[in-house]
Structures are given as C-alpha cells and as structure tokens.
C-alpha cells in the first residue's frame, strides 16, 4: 500500500498530467474522447466498489459509498452527454435521408420556380 507523501505525489502528478493532456485536445476529438473516458469511469466505479468491499471502519465505508455514488453519477452523466452529442450528428443525416433540402438547394429550387438562373 502507498502511504503519505508518495500517494499525494502520485495524485498530484496524475492530475497535472491529465490536465495537460486534455488541455491540448482539439475540439473535433472531444466526442470520441468522451466515449473513451466513459469507459475509464466504468473502471473507476468498479475500483470504488472493490475499495468499498475492503472497507472495515465506518469512515472507510462512507468514503467508499460516496466514491461509488459519485463515480456512477459521473459515468451515467458522461454517457448521457455523449448520446446527446451523437444525436446532434444523427439529426442532420436523418433529415437528409427524409428528403429535407439544405438552404443552398432550397434557394436554387426557389430561383428555378421563379424562372431565374440559380448559377
């Protein structure tokens, strides 16, 4: 088991590294990374459940329960946000399949109906 300053050092190093890595991610890669981070959140929940199972004192059990609760909320929220973001992309494809025309095609069709040249 890791004790004292070593645990704090590892935590601070992980937090700094995570901040630096995530801070340099382009916006276009955010959705795929959300899916990957949701997987990691699931592993965190499993780890929190294992820690809760090993808890002996009341304080350890409370901390373990809070860890499971917060980890689960984080994972569920991540999946909900990812699903919402993916729906934004699906809606444009679904509209195209349903025959809804874009603004440029609609303007060209309107111009053709009026007898004008759209080009």
pLDDT band at 119 (very low <50, low <70, confident <90, very high): very low
CA 4 to chain centre: 32
Three-class SS state of 68: helix
pLDDT attached to residue 108: 47
Q: pLDDT > 70: what percent of the chain?
A: 70
Domain ranges of the chain: 35-113
When pLDDT is averaged across residues 81-108 and rounded to a whole number, the result is 61
Give the separation between CA 77 and CA 79, rounded to whole angstroms. 5
Is 8's pLDDT higher than 90?
Answer: no
Q: Is the pTM of this model over 0.75?
A: no
| Contact by Cβ (8 Å): 48, 39 | no
């Amino acid at each position: 088991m890791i004790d004292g300053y070593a645990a704090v050092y590892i935590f601070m190093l992980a937090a700094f590294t995570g901040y630096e890595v995530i801070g340099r991610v382009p916006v276009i890669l955010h959705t795929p990374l959300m899916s990957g981070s949701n997987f990691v959140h699931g592993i965190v929940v499993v780890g929190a459940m294992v820690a809760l199972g090993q808890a002996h004192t009341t304080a350890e059990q409370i901390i373990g329960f809070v860890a499971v609760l917060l980890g689960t909320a984080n994972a569920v929220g991540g999946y909900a946000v990812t699903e919402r973001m993916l729906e934004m992309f699906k809606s444009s494809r679904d509209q195209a399949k349903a025959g809804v025309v874009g603004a440029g095609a609609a303007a060209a069709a309107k111009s053709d109906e009026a007898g004008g040249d759209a080009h």
